[in-house]
Amino acid sequence: MAKQLIKGNEAVIKGAALAGCVAYFGYPITPASEIAEAAAKYFPLIGRTFIQAESEIAAMNMVYGAASAGVRCMTASSGPGISLKQEAVSYCAGAQLPCVIVDIMRGGPGLGNIGPEQADYNQVVKGGGHGNYKVIVLAPNSAQEMCDLTMKAFDLADKYRSPVYVLTDGVIGQMMEQVEFPTREIIDPPRYDWGVHGDQVTRHNLITSIFLSHSELEEHNLKLQEKYRTIEANELMTDEYQTEDAEILLMGYGIVSRVLRSTVDYAREAGIRAGLLRPVTVWPFPVKRIQEFCAQVKKILVVEMSNGQMVQDVRLAVEGRVPVEFYGRMGGVVPSAEEILDVLKKL
């Protein structure tokens, strides 16, 4: 294994290739386009499919189609494109189709701008499309994790037959860092036998999200909810820094968690016992871990590049046991560690 200096967005595609993803369907959008470009460059060379779809709607429905065939497939986009994908994501959740969707968040609402933001949290983590469904959401904060968590996303998608998001911001997508690709783990692209392969064996398989009878649909929904509880019980991932003796808990994901790591260092130099809890899965959400911290810390400060979306989940977990403060920047502005330190000092 060797270290390579590479953009997070490109690391996604190399990871996907190693993980046996056979098809990429996408539509260009800044700051996610390098993902499509890398797929366009590499996939044809290794016998895999790249299609630039006519829209994110079509791209996500192509994913629905390829996933129906029981193969690993993916798409990627940013805010405006994710809005368009939501219909088919809901269909994938309903029909229990595994797939990976990468969201490199940019500024909104509307066309907003192409700067980094974290304002897709609600539309991604809360389901986003219609119906009673959840999606697993992984939140990388480095180029290395863009590779690793993309690979992990494929495993989780298959394990639970569910769409899995890789959710991060423009900074993590655009930044170059060193990545060690796990070349020993190259897997042969799998093909699942519940899919429709166009052969005698799978001829009687049916991929659908319709259940006409109300009771059958309720039963289907209950099964989905049960699956989500299993995921909550088994797949939570967090990352902590200097939390052992922390009096103030900082929380953030994506690029913010990187900034907060520096804030913790500065705070400690200034005599403030700060620690960082970073959700690596933002769904499932570290509810229990946060509740444990309520007995330890005096305050929680949640920092996001949004108007305060994840903080709502923190407050739900905390249930008023300790004060939960919020600091947010929007529009493409990334808060600096120094700026957050000032906020900390004023708490």
Binding to another protein, residues 268-327 (CB under 8 A): none
**Residues of this chain, 3-22, that bind another protein according to CB under 8 A:** 3-5, 13-14, 17-18, 22
* DSSP reduced 3-state for 235: coil
Find the radius of gyration of the CA atoms of the chain: 20
Residue closer to another protein, measured from CB, 140 or 284 = 140
DSSP, res 336? P
**Please, what's the b/e burial string for 70-88 (b: 16 or more CB within 10 A of its CB; e: otherwise)?**
bbbbbbbbbbbbbbbbbbb
| 250 near another protein, rule: CB under 8 A | no
- How many residues contact another protein, by CB under 8 A? 86
Considering the complex, what minimum distance in angstroms separates the CB of residue 257 from another protein?
9
Considering the complex, what minimum distance in angstroms separates the CB of residue 54 from another protein?
4
Strand 274-279 vs strand 3-7: parallel, antiparallel, or unpaired? unpaired
> What is the Cα–Cα distance from 101 to 167, expressed in whole angstroms?
8
* DSSP reduced 3-state for 164: strand
**Residues of this chain, 103-142, that bind another protein according to CB under 8 A:** 113-115
For tokens 């249930």, the residue is 319
Residue closer to another protein, measured from CB, 208 or 295 = 208
User: Applying CB under 8 A, which of residues 111, 183, 270, 288 lies at the interface with another protein?
Assistant: 183
**Residues of this chain, 63-92, that bind another protein according to CB under 8 A:** 63-71, 73, 87-88, 91
For tokens 């519940």, the residue is 194
Residue 183: name the closest of 6, 8, 15 by CA: 15
Distance in angstroms between the alpha carbons of the first and the last residue of the chain: 45
Stretch that binds another protein, among 156-164, 194-202, 244-252, 293-301 (CB under 8 A): 194-202
Residue closer to another protein, measured from CB, 200 or 320 = 200
User: Applying CB under 8 A, which of residues 19, 61, 120, 327 lies at the interface with another protein?
Assistant: 61
| 95 near another protein, rule: CB under 8 A | yes
| 215 near another protein, rule: CB under 8 A | no
CB distance 257 to 332 below 8 Å: no
| 212 near another protein, rule: CB under 8 A | yes
CB distance 12 to 76 below 8 Å: yes
Residue closer to another protein, measured from CB, 98 or 284 = 98
**Residues of this chain, 21-40, that bind another protein according to CB under 8 A:** 22-23, 25, 30-31
Phi-psi region of 112 (alpha: psi -120 to 50; beta: other; left: phi over 0): left
| 338 near another protein, rule: CB under 8 A | yes
| 333 near another protein, rule: CB under 8 A | no
| 154 near another protein, rule: CB under 8 A | no
**Residues of this chain, 216-235, that bind another protein according to CB under 8 A:** none
Residue closer to another protein, measured from CB, 67 or 231 = 67
Considering the complex, what minimum distance in angstroms separates the CB of residue 176 from another protein?
4
> What is the Cα–Cα distance from 22 to 184, expressed in whole angstroms?
18
* DSSP reduced 3-state for 97: coil
Residue 2 to residues 10, 181, 200, Cα–Cα distance (Å): 16, 7, 44
Residue closer to another protein, measured from CB, 49 or 312 = 49
| 240 near another protein, rule: CB under 8 A | no
Residue type, 213: S
> What is the Cα–Cα distance from 86 to 265, expressed in whole angstroms?
39
User: Applying CB under 8 A, which of residues 198, 215, 271, 346 lies at the interface with another protein?
Assistant: 198
